[in-house]
Amino acid sequence: MDRHLPPTVGQGPSQTRSFLTLALIELWERFGYYGMQALIVYFMVQRIGFEDSRANLVWGAAAALIYVAPAIGGWIGDKVLGTRRSVLLGGAILGLGYALMAVPTTNTWFTFSALGVIVVGNGLFKPNNANLVRKIYEGDDSKIDSAFTIYYMAVNVGSTISMLATPWIKDYVNATYGNQLGWHVAFGVCSVGMMIGLMTITVLRHTVNHIGSPPDAQPLHMGKLMAVLAGAVVAVGASAVILEYQALARAFVYVAGIVVLGIFFHLIRSSQPSERAGLVAALVLTLQTVFFFIFYQQMSTSLSLFALRNVDLEFSLFGMHLWTWSPAQFQALNAIWIMVLSPVLAWIYTRAGKSGKDLSIAAKFALGFTVVAAGFFTYGVAGQFAVNGLTSSWIMIAGYGLYSLGELLVSGLGLAMIARYVPARMGGFMMGAYYVGVGISQYLGGVVANLAAVPSDMVDPVQTLPVYTSLFNKLGIAAIACTLIALAALPLMRRLTATHNSHQ
């Protein structure tokens, strides 16, 4: 074996132990991220004083940057620092970003700079942790689908806890101490969660020391580390500027889309004939994923503001009061449903794989869009049964259930799709390219959410309700269109998959 390559999985701990370590740090990283996401649009509207339209676009641009950054972070993990080292460095930078959000200020440049630090940290962490999971199960397609579904569940364990906790912490501290400190205390909790994740992987590092990219097997090159950190500082400043100027954000997102498409086409053209079909299949499914994440971005934008203005926050059953939620806590329904549904789907995939009856990823994508459409129509139709402009909180549970099943079928298998179709030598970069596509759609999702931007002087729920339900019905129709496109692409995907498999 080449001494410059990390050992194979068979020489280290079991696949399960290695996987659990990576899933655990992902859980804590997502605890921090989604705890912040649950509050960020509300923070900009209620604390800083942004109009809905600006808050939607700023968060859309920030989410785009957060997802575009992994394209570079994946390359750094593959070629510069090493995959494992990039995970640790990214986690530390993320912890710093959440800590900066905890500083009690409403200065927009400070807030945007803190978001820039989060952008950089996510860029290093996200593609490399997922790439380590891919390396554990390389070559076993049925296990890859199952592993990434459980990995996706780990994401949602962390996010459920934080999305329930941070809004409650914010409300409690604000009510007890005033001065709006609750916002910043809640962001501080996100930083603490990330630090726990770093301590966890430090203690369990022996379970993942045998996997990684070639630079992980070499001593740390301080010159390369300093270059990465210097680039990170520049990226933080650039991110803050992009978030401040909306025209610049729009131009950045569109340029990123053109660049990643160009790279895809270059790789397809220059790849080995045996690799080409897999890369084309990955491109088709990545484009479908872009459409899905436009729907996904509504959770932190239009659906969040809908919960703020047009949802009855009381949960009652047969006239008996059960509990009351903060508007931001409704986002946790997505993660709760993911946790309920993930093990069921993972079991179905494994059983179907053993019997040779597993649906293709392309077919699962088509089914996912159908379910997403049903979820948005649930929100849209709910307006017909609203009382004084407020819809039932139970409608949110039903809508999020459908929406989350669709998410598992599309987004939950997006990483598995890259792992299945993309050659190992470009795995980290292509994980990053996949996230660029996601980032572009996050910004477009903010643009779509602005179709339901409510003027600051419109405060009557009866007036705001049709603004939101109109958008949700249109999104349902758009999801049906995506279903039809995905179904039309199935014959092409079958041919590409057959060609790809014949060269394995």
How many angstroms from the chain centroid is the CA of residue 381?
Answer: 27
* Whole-number Å distance between alpha carbons of 222 and 88: 15
Per the CB < 8 A criterion, the answer to whether 297 and 61 are in contact is no
What value does the CA radius of gyration of the chain take, rounded to a whole number of Å?
Answer: 22
Per-residue pLDDT of the chain (504 residues; tens, 9 = 90+): 333 333 333 345 677 788 888 888 888 998 999 999 999 999 999 999 899 889 999 999 998 898 888 878 888 988 888 888 899 999 999 999 999 999 999 899 999 999 999 999 999 998 888 778 877 776 666 677 677 767 777 777 888 899 999 999 999 999 888 778 999 999 999 999 999 989 988 888 888 777 877 888 888 889 999 999 999 999 999 999 999 998 898 888 888 888 878 877 777 777 777 677 777 777 777 777 788 888 888 988 999 999 998 999 888 887 788 888 889 999 999 888 888 887 788 788 778 777 777 677 778 888 889 999 999 999 988 888 888 989 999 999 999 999 888 888 877 566 666 666 777 666 656 766 777 788 888 899 989 998 888 887 788 888 889 999 999 999 999 999 988 988 887 777 777 666 666 665
- Is the full-model pTM beyond 0.85? no
How many angstroms from the chain centroid is the CA of residue 227?
Answer: 27
Structure tokens at 160: 């459920």
Tell me the three state secondary structure of residue 86: helix
How many angstroms from the chain centroid is the CA of residue 197?
Answer: 18
Return the number of other C-beta atoms located less than 10 Å from residue 202's C-beta: 10
Per the CB < 8 A criterion, the answer to whether 117 and 223 are in contact is no
Tell me the three state secondary structure of residue 211: coil
- Give all strands (DSSP E) within 124-248, no chain letters: none
| Ramachandran region, residue 324 (left: φ > 0; alpha: ψ -120 to 50; beta: rest) | beta
Q: For residue 163, which of 191, 190, 200 has the smallest C-alpha distance?
A: 190
Domain ranges within the chain, ordered by starting residue:
11-502
**CATH class of the 11-502 domain in this structure:** mainly alpha
How many angstroms from the chain centroid is the CA of residue 208?
Answer: 23
Q: For residue 127, which of 436, 442, 336, 361 has the smallest C-alpha distance?
A: 436
Residue 270 is inside which H or E element, if any? helix 246-270
Structure tokens at 278: 């897999």
Residue 458: phi and psi, rounded to 5, are -100, 100
